[in-house]
A = this chain, B = another copy of it.
Amino acid sequence: MAETGPTALVAVELQPVGRRVQVAPGTRVLEAAQASGIELVSVCGGEGTCGTCRVRAVDGVLSAETAEEESLLSDTERGDGWRLACQAQVCGALRLEIPPESLSTPQRLQIEGQAVDFTLDPPVTAVDLVLEPPSLHDLRADTTRLKEALDQAGMGGTAIGLRRARACSNRLRAQRWRGRAAVYRHPDGTGALVSIQPAGGVLLGLAVDAGTTKLAAYLVDLASGATLARVGAMNPQTAYGEDVVTRITYANTADGAARLLHERLIEELNRMVGELCEQAGAHRGQIVDAVVVGNTAMHHFVTGLPVRQLGEAPYVASVSDSLLASAEEIGLKLDSGAMLYLPPNIAGYVGSDHVAMLLASGLADTTQTVLALDIGTNTEISLAHKGAIWACSTASGPAFEGAHIHDGMRAAPGAIEHVRFLKGAFQVQTIGGAAPVGICGSGILDAVAQGLEEGIIDERGSLAKGHPLVSRTESGPTCLLVPAGRAGHGRDVVFTRSDVNEIQLAKGAIRAGTELLLKEAGIGAASLDSVVVAGAFGTYLDLESAIRVGLLVDVGRERYRQVGNAAGRGAEQLLLSRERRMLADHLAKRVRYIELTVHRSFTEMFAQSLGFGRGSPPDTGAPLAD
């Protein structure tokens, strides 16, 4: 009934897709992946002749390399630990990295987002130049000549740094003293040369939302503001820890580990830039500005800032102010002079992605009462009321990412994303319509909500003993969602009492944070003009289910806005508007950050928020006594 096998089986974890499976030693990795419901690219059908099923062991050991692998993989690839899934055999407990190109169906990634309007005024702007060539009667140095031409074009006082100067002389000559300069305009009106592009060239910008689990990247035309291409990918750091706390621990324990995490991330971003350029018919040398947003830990990993102090009490950021640097400094391969901007972090666990989300969703400049949630392993919550903004972060755990859930998985093909109880049984809808192999966040949320409605789950989260779908397995009380015969891997898909508990902890933390902010503002949920729910999970979740389990407050559905990847849209805005950058800096200073771990009422509020009773926590419309 359960998929646990004899004791000789070993655990194989597939990342970043987030699947786990138990297999016998000697099983080929390709088969182990199939057993977990993950299809790898394998053009030759596992014959060891095509070399497409590349994987890498992050933890644990694989069997020795075969002759096929020696012939199909380059020395560099083998040195980097790459193996072929059809050749390598599982020897013991194992964590595997599956690169995107080895997955037969890409994972679903939320990269679209809604955003407010703003005025196009990009910090990096184009200045067209025609210079007089030097002569014996005009011996000005190349950069002097260039500065004077920029001056004449209205960009007086533009600085040319050493790195830029190195590129200028040869490029100006190659372009016969013509070109389109990309100039960064500081808030104080002075400028800095970024690049000399060919005359008439299109200047592009890169916006990145670097999530703990997912990366989203956008290629933007800086002149028109149009998004030319979008690419999503899994964060390759997932192989080193699903949540940022684990990654920080990893970064602090092994020598060079922090650098490795940084480099893996940048490597993947560079690959994504290549994909963006291919989509748009552009080249990376045209990209002259970049904006990266992420939570504080991702912000530090991207920039190569130390993360040790983020992992130790009192968990402070190295940098919270906005950062202006060169993209080259963090290893991004764009135009060699491309700028890089990271908006400010609000606190150790309220990062620049939240700032970007607040910008894009209009919270930064609203006079209304608006609640905004970005639900993830950490959930950031902000509340705007009468021009003030409160924010907090709450450790909601990875349950909505499908982790710590018996049959949990991320939003990949075969994941159950929606559940309804009809005619005495659960009906499921999977991503891509594939046969179900696991449950992702929105599916678990639905399952719990439907379970509550049907009386399969009670107000305390226990499974109803007498219900025909509930049984007791070695995983404890278990409810059958999909019987083995209809599952993609031939085993039951279930949820357990323990899974329900994970959801209780997650929704309890989020709801307690929400209630605390309402309390700080002295209002009740009924006062909310609107509720913004951002992020991938926030987009796909069923509002009714979220309200039924108590994750979200019970206000009119018309007040809810599911805005998708608003952080990504906010990053795009920061590429396109100097005013938005100023607003971001201002916002980070304005926000009143509430540290929940030291707040008097949080524990009480959290305890009240764990149950599933309708009306709990007390949704009184008035502040609690403190």
Question: A residues near B, CB below 8 A?
Answer: 134-137, 139-144, 147, 160-163, 165-166, 168-170, 173, 303-306, 308-309, 313-321, 323, 325, 329-330, 345, 347-348, 593, 595, 597-598
Contacts and interface: CB of A to CB of B under 8 A. Distances in A.
Contacts of A319: 141-144, 160, 162, 165
Given A136-B597, A308-B170, A348-B139, A165 B316 contact: no
A329 B144 CA distance: 21
Given A320-B141, A321-B143, A329-B162, A136 B306 contact: no
A300 to B, nearest CB: 9
Pairs A-B, 10 closest by C-beta atoms: A141-B320, A141-B317, A162-B325, A169-B318, A134-B316, A169-B306, A136-B314, A143-B319, A165-B319, A136-B598
A314 B162 contact: no
Nearest to A306: B169
27 contacts: A134-B316, A135-B314, A136-B314, A136-B595, A136-B597, A139-B315, A139-B347, A140-B320, A142-B309, A142-B316, A142-B317, A142-B318, A142-B319, A143-B319, A143-B320, A144-B319, A144-B321, A162-B304, A163-B329, A165-B303, A165-B305, A165-B319, A166-B303, A166-B305, A169-B306, A169-B318, A173-B309
A309 B139 contact: no
A482 B349 CA distance: 82
A429 B323 CA distance: 63
A318 B597 contact: no
Given A136-B598, A141-B320, 5 more contacts: A136-B314, A142-B309, A143-B318, A162-B323, A169-B305
A169 B311 CA distance: 13
Contact of A318 (B135, B165, B304, B314): B165
B316 A141 contact: yes
Contacts of A329: 162-163
- Among A143, A162, A323, the most chain B Cβ lie within 10 Å of the Cβ of A162
Contacts of A318: 141-143, 165-166, 168-169
A598 B134 CA distance: 14
Nearest to A170: B306
Given A168-B318, A314-B134, A345 B141 contact: yes
A321 B136 contact: no
A240 B316 CA distance: 53
A149 to B, nearest CB: 15
Contacts of A137: 598
B169 A309 contact: yes
Nearest to A304: B166
Nearest to A344: B141
Contacts of A161: 325
Nearest to A318: B169
A436 to B, nearest CB: 44
Nearest to A315: B139
A261 to B, nearest CB: 14
Contacts of A143: 318-321
Contact of A321 (B135, B141, B166, B170): B141
A319 B162 CA distance: 9
A135 B136 CA distance: 65
Contacts of A147: 321
Contacts of A306: 166, 169-170
Contacts of A139: 314-316, 347-348, 593, 595
A255 to B, nearest CB: 14
Nearest to A167: B306
A102 to B, nearest CB: 34
